[in-house]
Amino acid sequence: MEKLIVTAAICGAEVTKQHNPAVPYTVEEIGREALAAYEEGAAIIHLHVRHDDGTPTQDVARYAECIAEIKRLCPDVIIQPSTGGAVGMNNAERMQPLQLVPEMATLDCGTVNFGGDDIFVNTENTIKEFGAKMIEIGTKPEVEVFDKGMIDTAIRLEKQGYIKAPMHFNFVLGVTGGIAASMRDLSYMIDSIPAGSTFTATGIGRHEFPMAAHAIAAGGHVRVGFEDNIYIEKSILAKSNGELVEKAVYIAEALGRSIATPDEARKILGLS
Ligand code: KMH
Ligand code: ZN
């Protein structure tokens, strides 16, 4: 089977130090967490950034500082900034990291409830605007899907020229308001993408490792990290993103998948 690409979502926009004191805010903390994940086998760092007080921001200068620090510590890792940002940010704010022409970035392909009154808004015109920009600058989108209809949206927009094939999907399972994190639903997502696509699975909270195991066995790739889950096991906080990556790698190796280096990940994803 193809080597496994592990993505570490080290920071997120919603999780805080109140949830887990190891959640990174400062440039130094972002570097520390990226390095811990990379040393355990992460080939991709999915990146959100914060102000020093933990407030999420899409500020391009802050992204530039954090990316420079990650590159200093992990020179070959693939850095994948978020264009989702935090709930409530406008499109101009969200698109700022694209000014840095990253190798990859997220492309969220639909609107989803995020619990309470929170709505993560991605209208069709937003997806087209972000997709067209990524084609213009040569950034490979990771197509973020929180529900099956978002796969259908991505397929439609690919036919219209807003996303290039072969697409790389990230199935996010277990968000309040999105598709459930069940084996049936992950299989349904896997069966719904076009031939030649690649996929990563992200299970939220306690679903992180069961979804990872299923994706590993199915030949897909895996995302773990504080953005999605703060526990290494029930009621025990993870000490770092490195610990979460280490557990994913342990499961992969037990199931016979070896781990892709960043350059191997680039080949698998068509980045090089
Ligand atoms: N923080 C969420 C509102 C992405 O990175 O593109 C959006 C998110 C998805 O995390
Ligand atoms: Zn994200």
Is the pTM of the predicted complex or chain greater than 0.95?
yes
Express each pLDDT in 213-271 by its tens digit.
999 999 999 999 999 999 999 999 999 999 999 999 999 999 999 999 999 999 999 99
Ligand nearest to the CA of 107: 1
Nearest alpha carbon, ligand 1 atom 9: 84
Q: How far apart are CA 36 and CA 42, in angstroms?
A: 9
How would you classify the pairing of strands 104-108 and 140-145?
Answer: parallel
Which ligand 1 atom is the nearest neighbour of the CA of 172?
9
Q: Which residues pair with 45 in a beta bridge?
A: 8, 79
Provide the pLDDT for residue 154.
99
The binding-site residues of ligand 1, defined as CB within 6 angstroms of any ligand atom, are 13-14, 82-84, 86-87, 106, 108, 120, 144
Burial of 126 (0-12, 13-18, 19+ CB in 10 A): buried
Supply angle C-alpha 54, 56, 59, rounded to 5.
120
Express each pLDDT in 21-41 by its tens digit.
999 999 999 999 999 999 999
